[in-house]
Structure formats: C-alpha cells, structure tokens
Structure 1
Amino acid sequence: MKMKKHLLLWLLTCCAISLHANIRLPKVISSNMVLQQQSQVKLWGWAEPGERISITTSWDQQVYAVTTAGDAGWSTAITTPVAGGPFTITLKGRNTIELVNVMAGEVWICSGQSNMEMCGNWGLKDIKAIQPTAYNTNIRCFKIAKATAAYPQEDVTAQWVTCDSAVLNTFSAVGYFFGRKLNEQLHVPIGLIDASWGGTAAEVWTPDSTVKNNPVLKEAATHILPNGMCPHLPGVAWNAMLAPVTNYTIAGVTWYQGENNTSTAAAYRLLFTSMIDAWRSAWHQLLPFYFVQIAPFNYREKNVGALLREAQQQSMQHPNTGMVVTTDITGNVYDVHPTNKHDVGYRLANWALGETYHRKEFVYLYPLYKEMMIKKDKVIISFKNDSQGITIKGDSIAQLFIAGSDREFHPAQATVKNNSLVVWSKEVKQPVAVRYAFSNTAIGNLFGRNGLPVAPFRTDQWEAPTK
C-alpha cells in the first residue's frame, strides 16, 4: 500500500512537471490574431527553464530558435510579411502549439472611458444597422476584460475573434467604425484591441510612477474620487489591461476620454501628454495617438467642459497626435454619451489615413484658432488648417462673444473676409478678447469649407470661473 502511495505521488509530480514544462503563450498571442505587417514583432511566453523552442512561420518557412531563461520566460523577434493571410505559426518544445488563421495587417489600440466602450448592447442605432453585414474575416477584435492590479501583470483575459454581428454587441463601436474604414481604404487586415472602461479618469490608464513622481499630477489625482462603478487609483487599469500587451507591436492608438477629468482640467494637458509619453516608452515606439475632443454636455460646474476641451486641443502640440472635434455631431447636450459613433470612428480613421498612412485625399484637419489682430473696434481672427477657407452655416454666427478690458463678454456679430473671421459688437468699442463655443454646452456653426467644424477657442487666458 505504501509503495502504491509513493508511485501515485511520483506520477502526480511527473504530470505537474510535464504541464509546467509545456510552452505557454499570453492570450494576445493566439490563433486568429493580426500581427503588424512588415515589422519585427515579438513573440513571448513561458516554458521550462533551459527549454529550447523552435518557431516556424508559414509565410516564409523561417525557423527561429529561442531558449527559455531561468525565470521561465522566453521571447524572440520574428519578421512579418506584407499584409495578408491566413498564416500559421508552429511552436515546438516539449509540446507543440500551432497558431492558425493568423493575419498580417495593421493593429490599433482603442482605449478610454464609456464613449469608447459603448457598443451594440448600449442600443446604438448605427451598430444595429450594420450588424447584419458585420461579418468580416479581415477585421479581428481583441476585447480586454475589465481588471485592475497594483502592479503590472503578465496577461489579460481576452481572445482574438473574427468580427461579426455578435462581437459588435460588446466591442467598441468607435473602434469598430475606425477599423472598418481602415480596412475599406487600405485593403489590409485590421486588428483592434479594445481596452476601455466607462467612468475612468486618465490617471488609471497612466503608470502610477508617472503620476506619483509629478507633484502637479499627484495632487490632481487626489480629486479623482471613487464612484462605485470604476477604479480611481493611478495605474491600476494600466497595470492589468495594457501593461500585459505592451510587447505586442501595434501601429497606433485611438483614445476617447476626458469627461471624468473635468474636475481637474487645469492638470489634464500635463496628465494626458505624460500618459502618451509613458505609453510610447512602454511600446518603444513614437506611437500615433489620435483622440476625440469631449462633446458638449451640461456639466454641473461652469466651464469645466470648455476647459477640458481646451486642454485637449493644447495637447495637439505634442508630436504625432491628432484630435477629432465633435461639436457638430453631439445631438443632446444633456446626455454625456453621444450616440453617433459612426462619424467619430470615421473621423479618427481619417486622421490615421492622412497622417500615418499618408493618404492626403482624406479630410481630417480641423480649423483651429491661430491668432487675433485688433483693428479699431473689430477683432480679426485667423485660423490654422483653413486652406479652403471658413464659413458660417446659417444667417448669423452662434456662440460667439467679445469683451473689452472689463472682461464682460457680449454676444458678437461676425463676417468672413479673406478666410478670416471679423468680429465686433456695438456694446464693445475697444475689444480685447473673443470666445467661440467656449462653454460646457456650446454648439457653434463655424466650419471650414472642408466640412469640418472649427474647434472651440478663446483668445484670452483669463480665469474661467467654474462655480
């Protein structure tokens, strides 16, 4: 009896060792994935220390060899082909893993809070309309389950799947429409990684060391309070949902977030650009970062939305970034969740097509305030990105105000002359400043002739009261 017990124990131990010795892969390295085309991409995982692993890629029959390190981890770089597929990747060690239906194409992260998270299950009409024809083997989706962690993790809960009507019930609508347009225009497979969580502040997506090592960001983070539905501590979503996939080569990032940082808008530009830099450092790439300016909404505190939008626009001075303006597609300013995700996704895609893929035929540059000149009782406003000029839609301009040195703003009149906006008011004889659509709920009617709305702006730097 005693010998049988020892034999059983030995067999169980052998089984445990055998299981432990097997090659194991993170979830993001799996069948159905999209690898960034024509790149050196990393494959990684775990196995028995000292175990030799061979990796064979079907597109060129190249064999890569790697030996597992003493910490049981291994990684190697492989060369990916031009966009196409499906391909297979075979890994052999003490066990064999065959990854099938692998594509080479363009891979993008889609991240942020609820306006990025919104999906078919939210009742979005633009998703419901597309679902019957949503099946597309050239769009692959990887939705990361919500999780938090105090320290960076090694893996996430997710799986690569082919886009279809069921996937769109839970996958980011903005991300899907972004990827769909890229697929339509580039004619290559698109991989989309959805890491989003409604109600989150940017701090939770930023490595905690980035926040805690900066006095301004550290203090601002104390004002982000728990709401019972999402995390609020710096870095916790980054650690659990993004850090595990930073080895995965991507083309860029789309981002829709900001509503939960309106209470700390003064620090948002520093926070957002620091977050971008931290992501780029983690991926070892100057990642394109295209983001959505938050939509008009009736916040409880005065001007906080306008100030956050201003911080977002200022963030465009950071290299390789771009911003989508949404004032014209908002709809209901009493709903923080605009339902038009189709146009948001396509406008993000236009930024990528124009800047990342150098397809300049796409319209993506929004007219932005450049400078002002005072000429007697009028202010002349000029714009960037207005090569085709600007126009007022309607009989008169909306949400435009002018002030003198007393800082009292009055409704203004305006006309377009030589691609500039000439602004005046009979109430202000000596103008000093102009504001356009600068409030929480303002929806203006000033557009570039390219069809895109002029971003809200102000020419002054006066304190904008929030109480």
Structure 2
Amino acid sequence: MCDKTANYTINKRAMNSHIPNIKLFFAATWTCLSSISLSFADIRLPHLLGNNMVLQRDTQVKFWGWADPGERVRVTTSWNGKTDSIIASDDGRWELRMATPRAGGPYAILFRGKNTIELTNVLIGEVWICSGQSNMAMNGTSGLTDIQQELPRADRNDIRFFKIPRTSTSDRQDDCQANWTVCDSVTLNTFSAVGYFFGKRLADTLGVPIGLIEAAWGGTSAEVWTPAHAISKSPLLKNNAEKITPSDHWPTKPGLAFNGMIAPLTPFKIAGTIWYQGENNVGPYSSDYDSLLTTLIHTWRSEWQHDFPFYLVQIAPYRYPVPLSAALLREAQTNVLSLPNTAMVLTTDLVADTTDVHPTNKKDVGMRLANVALAQHYGLRQITHQHPIYKHVSIDQDSIFVAFDHAENGLDIVNPSEHHFLIAGKDRVFHKAQVKVRGNVLVFWNAGIKNPVAVRYGFDNTATASLFNKAGMPAIPFRTDRWPVDRQ
C-alpha cells in the first residue's frame, strides 16, 4: 500500500477553532430548513452515530436510522456544507452514504425530519475495532501499571472510545447501548489497554484522530463471535460448538456475542480489526481453531463488504492442564496467516508468570499491533513489525537446517539451556537439541540421534521466547512434523 502520510497531518489548533463556524453554518441551515413542512415524524439514530464519534476519512460513510415509513430525512455535514436526503422505507428504516474528507475536525452533522438532531465534536480519522476476550478487555481497573501511569496525561482529544456493553442475544441487533467518549483519565481507566496503546501509537505516528470500538468479553470462545449460520454450514465447527460447556458468566452458543456486539457495528465504516482471543478455545479442538477463526474473518469481512486488515495476538505461554493443547492452538493461529491482509503479534517474550493467563504487559502488545498496522496498512515499511517465521527445512546427515523469513540480518538465541529446541528421529521421540545460528538458518542436532527427521521450537504450553531476529522480534513457535499429538 502506498505511503499516504503526507495527507495525515492535522492542524490541531484548527480542530478546536471550527466550533463557532459550525454554529453559524447550522444557524443558516436551520433558517433554510424552517420552511419545510412539519408533517415529518421524529427520526432516530443508532447510538454508534453520536457526539464525539470518529468517522473513517477519505471514503463514503453510511448514515442510517429510523423514521416513519415514507418520511424524508435530510442530512447536512459541516465539512462541505452539502445536504443529501433519503425517504424511509416501508419498515421505517433509512440510510444514505456521504463522502468524508481527509482527517480533521471537529465537525457537526445535522439530521432533519420533523425533529432535528445535531451531532457535534465529530472528528474524521481512522476507526478500528478491538475485540476478543479478557486479555483484550483488561483495563486500568484490572490494576495494570502501564495504564495507571498513563492516567495523569490521558487527556487526548484526538482519541475517542466506544465501549460496547456485554450483550448476548439470539436475535441480531441493530443498535447497542453505548456512547462515544473522549479519552481522559476517567474513560481510559475502563477501556481496553491493548486498544488504547494501539490507538495512541497510531495517533502519534499518523497525526490523525483515532476512533476505537471495544467489543470484548472475558471467557468467550470464538464461536460466540461468529454468526450462527456460518458455524452451522461446517459439520466440524457445528460439532465442536455443540460440545462447549455452558457457563453462567458468558455466552457459549454460536453467534450470541456477534448478534449483540458486532452486528450493530457492521454499517459503520472501519479501517480494520485487532483481535486478542483464543484462550477459551484451548482444549480438545485446539487444532480446529484455524478453521474457526478463518470462518469468523470471512463472515465479518462479508458483513462489512470490505476485506479489512485483521491482526491477531497469539495467546501467551500459560500452564494449561492438557499438555500441548495451547501449542496446537498457537499453530492454528499461525495457519490463519495464510489469509490475505492478516498478521499476528507474539507475546512469548512479554510474560513474567506462566501461571497467570492474563499477562500484565498490554502496552507492548498494543504497540506491536500498531506497528503492524503502520507498516502493512499505512505503508510505513521501515517500522519493525515482523516476527521470524519458519520457512523451510532440509536435512543433511545428522543435522536439520531450518530457514526463516523475516530474519535477513540473522538470528539470536537467548537462554539456549531452556528446553525449547527439540529434535526427533524416526521413532518420533523428541529430545533436547543442540542449536547454532548460520545467518537466517538455525541448525539442530543431537549427538545421540542419527538420521533425525523432525524438529520443534517453542512447541509447548509454557515455552517463552528463546529465538529472535536481529531486530529483537521473537520467532513464531513451530514444528516441522505433522505427527499426531498425544495430549494425555
């Protein structure tokens, strides 16, 4: 993607100087519209269209809502003074598309039927969804030190939050009970820490307003975020979903969180999604997570009619009770990267306690996600963002050579005494391997194994990072075999 940063700079003084002009503009607009017949019925907007919102820049955005059937709704935007109108359908719904300018604001939008709705303090910038389970939802109230340190300097007019309450429903919803808020010490304390650090990095680097929509629920599996009709089309996914243990604390049936927390967002133009989920899918069907997440991504993109970026966080090292169950899920997460416009960031070097499924370092996770977005979506290719990933393997006598992508300047091994490098012969029994680096190739061997056939790195529930590229990015765990895994 081309580098568009030349168009991103905002005059922040100008952002705060538009308000008087907006008032004059709408005073004139109301005078003009006062001659319109007052036979119109009241119009209503979804909560997602509200004061303080951020709209996606340089595109066609959708405005929508409800009115009486046959009612004409007029929409006027202050950034260009244009008015467009639409007649509500027989079921009272209406929608229209209008062009947004380059990043900036604040602006106002006027909706006019019998009643008038004026939205103010609207910014134009970049909008991202932050979704998943508890590691995405964690915030300042969770005691995160990084967020507590941010609170004294949290007043950021260029960062806006829309936090969706946890909503589980079998019926698809077209609205959600939330409101856009400006980032400050109060609103930040209860918003996703990963989302905030992601958005802050984007705002500081691009110089544009950032709108962040949090749709996260601790304990949820990916099935509940996937439309039920998509799960039902796959015998594999349907069978797995039917065996999820019910819970009193979160939904467990397919589509329930999607219906209440994602469906209301689908008319709203977004730049992309960051996703931190997977812990609750660790178990008997860990290996099927790639099919599940692939289905989720396809259906979300279909709902938005946009192949937006989808960036995920690989689940952190943790002592899950079933051996290798998390390793298999991480492998499945890696497999999802075969989809276009996806990427993954690691946490294997960011965990201090593998007995806690909620690592407290959310700042670096958010920063890594932002660096991926800056490099891959916004064209700032010079930003370090790629993890070394297993490319291909070759065997020469008693050694196995593994080559990596994204390690052009070489590899580094940290704590080689840790049991993260394994090698096996034809008996399929893995032993600790000796390893050495040759450029972007890692050489495995074990003096006691003749004619080895497979190696693994970090393929364990609790393995932390031992292998990095020269830019300090940890390598993605992998195995070269595809043998059945005994998880007993």
Give 1:62's aligned residue. 82
- Kept in 2, the 8 Å contact 1:436–1:444? The answer is no
196-205 vs 160-169, which moves further: 160-169
Instruction: Determine which of 294, 315, 318 is the counterpart of 1:297.
Output: 318
Q: Distance in 1 between matches of 2:97 and 2:410?
A: 48
CA-to-aligned-CA distance 1:217-265 (integer Å, 9 cap, x gap): 0011122212321110000000011101100000000000000001121
Give 2:18's aligned residue. none
CA RMSD of aligned residues (A): 1.3
- Kept in 1, the 8 Å contact 2:42–2:113? The answer is yes
194-203 vs 413-422, which moves further: 413-422
Give 2:470's aligned residue. 449
2:448 counterpart of 1:427 = yes
Shift of 1:21: 2.4
Q: Distance in 1 between matches of 2:74 and 2:250?
A: 42
Given the two structures, how large is their TM-score scaled by the length of structure 1?
0.95
Instruction: Determine which of 162, 165, 168 is the counterpart of 2:188.
Output: 168
Instruction: Determine which of 219, 225, 239 is the counterpart of 1:199.
Output: 219
Q: How does 1:377-396 map to 2 (within 5 A)?
A: 377-394=398-415
Q: Distance in 1 between matches of 2:287 and 2:475?
A: 22
2:155 counterpart of 1:135 = yes
221-230 vs 447-456, which moves further: 221-230
CA 19–157 in structure 1, closer or farther in 2 if over 3 Å, else same = farther
334-343 vs 225-234, which moves further: 225-234
- Kept in 2, the 8 Å contact 1:28–1:245? The answer is yes
Give 2:289's aligned residue. 268
Give 1:159's aligned residue. 179
Q: Distance in 1 between matches of 2:416 and 2:294?
A: 39
Shift of 1:363: 0.8
Letter in 1 for 2:213: I
- Kept in 2, the 8 Å contact 1:121–1:170? The answer is yes
Give 1:329's aligned residue. 350
Give 2:334's aligned residue. 313
Shift of 1:54: 1.2
Shift of 1:19: 12
Q: Distance in 2 between matches of 1:19 and 1:142?
A: 34
Give 2:28's aligned residue. none
CA-to-aligned-CA distance 1:376-432 (integer Å, 9 cap, x gap): 110011011212221112465651010000011111111101321111011211100
Q: Distance in 1 between matches of 2:418 and 2:360?
A: 26
Letter in 1 for 2:224: V
2:436 counterpart of 1:415 = yes
- How many percent identity over aligned positions? 50
Letter in 2 for 1:463: P
Shift of 1:371: 1.1
**Matched position secondary structure for 2:282:** helix
**Matched position secondary structure for 1:453:** coil
Instruction: Determine which of 16, 21, 32 is the counterpart of 2:41.
Output: 21
CA 19–292 in structure 1, closer or farther in 2 if over 3 Å, else same = farther
Give 1:42's aligned residue. 62
Q: Distance in 2 between matches of 1:51 and 1:313?
A: 50
**Matched position secondary structure for 2:81:** coil
**Matched position secondary structure for 1:329:** coil
CA 444–144 in structure 1, closer or farther in 2 if over 3 Å, else same = same
CA-to-aligned-CA distance 1:141-171 (integer Å, 9 cap, x gap): 0000001111211100110000111112211
Give 1:100's aligned residue. 120
Letter in 1 for 2:214: D
Instruction: Determine which of 241, 265, 286 is the counterpart of 1:221.
Output: 241
- Kept in 1, the 8 Å contact 2:273–2:309? The answer is yes
- Kept in 1, the 8 Å contact 2:408–2:439? The answer is no
Shift of 1:115: 0.3
Given the two structures, how large is their TM-score scaled by the length of structure 2?
0.91
420-429 vs 290-299, which moves further: 420-429
Instruction: Determine which of 274, 280, 286 is the counterpart of 1:254.
Output: 274
2:107 counterpart of 1:74 = no
Shift of 1:361: 1.6
Give 1:115's aligned residue. 135
2:200 counterpart of 1:180 = yes
**Matched position secondary structure for 2:403:** strand
Q: Distance in 2 between matches of 1:192 and 1:213?
A: 32
Q: Distance in 2 between matches of 1:398 and 1:103?
A: 51
Shift of 1:464: 1.3
CA-to-aligned-CA distance 1:293-349 (integer Å, 9 cap, x gap): 000000011100000000000100011000001100011100000000000000000
Instruction: Determine which of 202, 221, 232 is the counterpart of 1:212.
Output: 232
Q: Distance in 1 between matches of 2:287 and 2:232?
A: 17
Q: Distance in 2 between matches of 1:439 and 1:404?
A: 19
Shift of 1:353: 0.3
**Matched position secondary structure for 1:21:** coil
2:421 counterpart of 1:400 = yes
- Kept in 2, the 8 Å contact 1:397–1:413? The answer is no
- Kept in 1, the 8 Å contact 2:40–2:114? The answer is no
Instruction: Determine which of 339, 343, 362 is the counterpart of 2:360.
Output: 339
Give 1:189's aligned residue. 209
2:388 counterpart of 1:367 = yes
Letter in 2 for 1:86: P
Letter in 2 for 1:293: Q
